[in-house]
Amino acid sequence: MHSCARTIPFACFLFLGTHVAQGADEEARRDFHSYANPEHVRVRHIDLYLDVLFDKQVIQGEVVLAIERTSADAKQPLVLDTRGQNIESVEESQDGQEYKKTPFDLGKVDPVLGQSLTVRLPEKVRSVRIKYKTGPRAAALQWLTPAQTADKKYPFLFTQSQAIDARSWIPLQDSPRVRVTYTARVRTPKDLLALMSASNDPAQKRTGDYRFEMKQAIPSYLIALAVGDLEFRKIGPRTGVYAEPKVADRAAKEFTELEEMVRAAEKLYGPYRWDRYDVLVMPPSFPFGGMENPRLTFASPTVLAGDKSLVSLLAHELSHSWSGNLVSNATWSDFWLNEGFTVYLERRIMEAVYGKARADAEAMLGRRSLEREMADLPKSDQVLHIDLKGRTPVDGLTDVPYEKGALFLRHLEAVYGRERLDAFLKGYFNHFAFKSITTAEFAEYLNDHLLKGDAEKAARAKVEEWLYKPGLPSDAPNPTAAALERVQASAHEFAAGKVKATDLPVKDWTPQQWLHFLISLPADLTKDRMRELDDAFALTKSGNSEVLFQWLLLSVQHGFEPAYPRLEGFLTEQGRRKFLKPLYEEMVKTPAGKERALAIYRKARVTYHPLSVDTVDAIVGWK
Write the DSSP string, 179-195: EEEEEEEEE--TTSEEE
Cis peptide before 305 (omega within 30 of 0): no
The CB-of-291 to Zn ion minimum distance in angstroms stands at 8
Closer to Zn ion by Cβ: residue 339 or 441: 339
The residue annotated as part of the active site, out of 402, 468, 584, 601, is: 402
CB of 606 to Zn ion, least distance (A): 28
Distance CA 77, CA 421 (A): 44
SS (H, E, C) 66-131: EEEECCCCCCCCEEEEECCCEEEEEEEECCCCCCEECCCEECCCECCCEEEEEECCCCCCCEEEEE
Nearer to Zn ion, 321 or 615 (CB): 321
Active site residue 242: no
> Which phi and psi (to 5°) does residue 227 adopt?
-135, 125
Separation CA 493–CA 487 (nearest Å): 10
Interacting positions 50-79 with Zn ion (CB under 5 A): none
For the bound state, the minimum distance from the C-beta of residue 339 to Zn ion, rounded and expressed in Å, comes to 5
Residue 448 CA to residue 432 CA, distance in Å, equals: 14
Contact characters 328-347, Zn ion, x per CB under 5 A: -----------x--x-----
Residue 132, classed as helix, strand or coil, is strand
- Residue 99 or 432: which CB sits closer to Zn ion? 432
Q: Which is nearer to Zn ion, 342 or 512 (CB)?
A: 342
Minimum CB distance to Zn ion, residue 87 (Å): 32
Do the Cβ atoms of 526 and 534 come closer than 8 Å? no
Across-strand partners of 327?
Answer: 323, 435
Closer CB to Zn ion, residue 278 or residue 339?
339
Written as one letter, the residue type at 320 is H
Nearer Cβ to Zn ion (291/521): 291
Name the minimum Å distance from CB 458 to Zn ion: 29
* Site string (342-381) toward Zn ion, x via CB under 5 A: x---------------------------------------
Query: Choosing from 92, 292, 317, 413, which is the catalytic residue?
Result: 317
Minimum distance, C-beta of residue 320 to Zn ion, in the bound complex (Å): 6
What is the total count of residues that contact Zn ion (CB under 5 A)? Answer: 2
Please state whether beta strands 231-236 and 239-243 pair in parallel, antiparallel, or not at all (unpaired): antiparallel
- Angle separating helix axes 418-431 and 258-269, nearest 10 degrees: 90
- Cβ at position 176, least distance to Zn ion in Å: 14
- Angle at CA 286, nearest 5°, toward 281 and 288? 100
Tell me if residue 259 is catalytic.
Answer: no
Cα 288 to Cα 64, 239, 302, 317, 334, distances in angstroms: 30, 22, 10, 11, 20
Burial group, residue 145, by CB count within 10 angstroms (0-12, 13-18, 19+): middle
Nearer to Zn ion by C-beta: 302 or 342? 342
Binding footprint of Zn ion on the chain (CB under 5 A)? 339, 342
Catalytic residues, which ones?
317, 402
